[in-house]
Amino acid sequence: MSFINKTDEQLLLEITRRIKQKRLNQNITQGDLASRSGLHVQTIKNFESGKGSKLLTLIQLLRAFGELESLDKLLPEPGISPIELLKLKGKERERASGKADSTKDEVKW
């Protein structure tokens, strides 16, 4: 499935749909998932319907499913490029310069 042409709202609904399907595939009730995750049942109902979804809720649900490693797949540790490290003389960068590269029009993840 391509996410590129989806709106933010469509992406949110797809993520929450997948979490709900994972719960159903594992035959876990919303109440059981609430107990496992430390969340209120209503929070899970809201999350699964795409209402009031928070990143913290997603993290708590992934923890309850034993799927925290999924976050590393989503956003792997970027590290520092060797060239950037040489420019910084071994120090890690702490701030962005804010200078735009005129050859790039959009951010690529």
**25-75 pLDDT tens trace:** 999 999 999 999 999 999 999 999 988 788 999 999 999 999 999 988 888
Residue 33, Cβ neighbours under 10 Å: how many?
Answer: 24
Q: Which CATH number applies to 8-68: 3.40.50.1220, 1.10.260.40, 3.40.50.970, 2.60.40.10?
A: 1.10.260.40
Closest Cα partner for 40 from 63, 66, 61? 61
pLDDT of residue 100: 63
pLDDT of residue 30: 96
Domain locations in the chain as residue ranges:
8-68
| pLDDT band per the 50, 70, 90 thresholds, residue 83 | confident
Closest Cα partner for 41 from 50, 52, 32? 32
pLDDT of residue 92: 61
Distance CA 1, CA 14 (A): 10
Contact 19, 61 (CB under 8 A): yes
Contact 15, 58 (CB under 8 A): yes
Distance CA 67, CA 95 (A): 31
104 pLDDT above the threshold of 80? no
